[in-house]
Structure 1
Amino acid sequence: MQDFRMDTFLTVCKYMNYTKAAKELNLTQPAVSQHIHFLEQTYGVELFAHNGKRMELTRAGEILKRSALTMKHDEFHMQEKMRHAAGDVQNYAFGATLSVAEFMITEDLERFILNHPESHIRVEVANTKELLMKLDAGELDFAIIEGEFPKDEYEYLLYSQEEYVAAGNKKIAERFRGASIKDLFTERIILREPGSGTREILENELKRRGLQVSDFANLTEIGNIGVIQKMLQAGLGVTFFYQATIKGKEELQVIRLNDFKLRHDIMFIYRKNSIFEKDYRQIYEEFRENGKMDKEGKFQK
């Protein structure tokens, strides 16, 4: 069981403020200070430093934070495994970003469910930032994401590579065929909400070119891919997302730009140094199994 002072440490990391941490933990500020002092004495290092009025983690504090988050996650997972050890039901909880959940893992998930008919499987769909928070809190075992993440805190395996394209209705796709990305700046850009992996890819690519989303004539933000697709069909603008998103939709087409060709890695991630790493890798291999199913719904190896 993780020491209660470690929870205090993680809460201080969350706010970088003793007063706010004390309020969330329902403790006095001196008690929070005592908990941090105890940890610093135990490990023989300083965990926090002050840069002017700003509080920040030391390098030792960063190491402890990463380790503490993994331990917290593993303890939660261990409790779940112990709780269900006596029964036949296995619990799986994982996250996926919206584009991944809707367009990239449905067949893999279907095969996984057929192979584990007695299991309880919970899939949470959210943007990358929210999923990372749930992983750290122990609410999820692993996640399949498209957005950026700190690679020093998570183990990661390549799940797939997806074409990332500009898209619009047939008329717009034809008008801008062979054009440059700057030529699209005359159009309204329709994007997911800030924090979504699909949007981050475009923002990072534009930044690399010295450009930004505000260079487009107008911006519309919508947190639902289906609605974005309908707006594109109506000719209300252009967007950038995965080519898989418009598969089978004849009304929408890729805008073939002369200076934009991008593939993006979809990653399977879990907390680094987890004691359950073997379990997660086994799930990854089963998700990525390319064999055919037999009549009973099992994989043919």
Structure 2
Amino acid sequence: MRIRQLHCFVVLAEELNFTRAAKRLNMSQPPLSLQIQSLERALGADLFHRSSRKMTLTQAGEVLQRRAKNILAQHDRAILEVREAIAGHHGVLDIGTTGSILRAGLADLLARFCREFPGITVRLHEEAPALQISDLISGRMDVIFNRSPPAHDDLTCELAWKEDMVVMLPADHPLGAQDTLSLDDLRSERHVILRPDSSDFAAYIMSLISHGGMRPRISQQVVDAQSIPSLVAAGFGISVLPAGIAKLTSGPLISRPIAPESPVSEIFTVYSRHQRSPVTETFLRMARLARSW
């Protein structure tokens, strides 16, 4: 049973007239008759009662009619999904990131992507930066978002966006009376920091608070930036961190911009240099457009 035969049958079953059915199918009556006869031979049953006065469906024809439209619809859907997959509009996308980058705007980008491409299933993996790189190289991830460019020949990256760094401190801290803070203002403070050996970004923060040969007073070191606000609120010190983390943090905390020149955190879209699926290419195109939003 071929799809073309089934299509001819469905139209003829609706019209119950060879002339009208052939016209709808944009074909002459003899080829239509051959398609129906071939289908009946394949099924081993007559599908129509034919007489000089009218045409009706046989019991076998009624059974096939109930199923045929669904079969054709599934066939059309399968073709559409294949074409969408080739075009990058259907499939699965695995994205690796950290919680702080989700807060920095990635969540909004993913929400818009899912709305515009509902045929693509996005699977988000929150992991440490080093593990993200490993998973991307092995093929377990399609794209990752990281605060440092990759140091691997098989990977490449694009700057996704930049995020200002701010000072987070308890709401009752004396420095909170100032509208802006300089790095020199932080010289005598205790700091809650990311462990410097946990990522290049953590090392960058350490370099900021160590500027000018200053030896910062380190109170606590953590590997997850989302742990910092709780420690600051508990009185363990202040922290220099991305504005996205401070913006969505609740509790007795405030943040102040750094002046006169605000340091920034760069966020990179990282992906394979050589092997990218159509779905990955679709996401990368939208991520590039996001820079102008």
TM norm structure 2: 0.58
Distance of aligned partners of 1:290 and 1:133 in 2 relative to their CA distance in 1, 3 Å threshold? closer
Distance 1:239 1:276 in 2: 38
Instruction: Give the letter aligned to residue 190 of structure 1.
Output: V
Worse-matched range after superposition: 151-160 or 262-271 = 151-160
Distance of aligned partners of 1:114 and 1:169 in 2 relative to their CA distance in 1, 3 Å threshold? same
Distance of aligned partners of 1:151 and 1:231 in 2 relative to their CA distance in 1, 3 Å threshold? same
- Which residue of the partner structure matches residue 155 of structure 1? 156
- Which residue of the partner structure matches residue 145 of structure 2? 144
Distance 1:162 1:229 in 2: 18
SS at match of 1:140: coil
Distance of aligned partners of 1:261 and 1:170 in 2 relative to their CA distance in 1, 3 Å threshold? same
Task: Answer whether contact 1:167 1:254 (CA < 8 A) is retained.
Answer: yes
Question: Cα RMSD over matched residues?
Answer: 3.3
- Which residue of the partner structure matches residue 202 of structure 1? 205
Deviation at residue 275 of structure 1 after TM alignment:
3.7
- Which residue of the partner structure matches residue 190 of structure 1? 192
Distance 1:138 1:204 in 2: 33
- Which residue of the partner structure matches residue 218 of structure 2? 218
Distance of aligned partners of 1:183 and 1:156 in 2 relative to their CA distance in 1, 3 Å threshold? same
Task: Answer whether contact 2:229 2:249 (CA < 8 A) is retained.
Answer: no
CA deviation profile, 1:173-206 (whole Å, cap 9, x unmatched): 4267665424423222112344245423313445
Distance 2:122 2:229 in 1: 29
Unaligned runs of 5+ in 1: 1-80, 292-301
Deviation at residue 92 of structure 1 after TM alignment:
1.1
Instruction: Trace 1:237-248 onto structure 2 (pairs within 5 A).
Output: 237-248=237-248
Distance of aligned partners of 1:137 and 1:204 in 2 relative to their CA distance in 1, 3 Å threshold? farther
Task: Answer whether contact 1:128 1:196 (CA < 8 A) is retained.
Answer: yes
TM norm structure 1: 0.56
Worse-matched range after superposition: 222-231 or 160-169 = 222-231
SS at match of 1:186: coil
Task: Answer whether contact 2:97 2:145 (CA < 8 A) is retained.
Answer: yes
For the pair shown, the structure with the greater C-alpha radius of gyration is 2
SS at match of 1:104: helix
Distance 1:133 1:290 in 2: 26
Number of residue equivalences: 203
Task: Answer whether contact 2:155 2:270 (CA < 8 A) is retained.
Answer: yes
Task: Answer whether contact 2:101 2:145 (CA < 8 A) is retained.
Answer: yes
Task: Answer whether contact 1:99 1:198 (CA < 8 A) is retained.
Answer: no
Unaligned runs of 5+ in 2: 1-81
Worse-matched range after superposition: 152-161 or 136-145 = 152-161
Distance 2:256 2:279 in 1: 42
CA deviation profile, 1:131-180 (whole Å, cap 9, x unmatched): 11111122111111112422754322221111112221233342676654
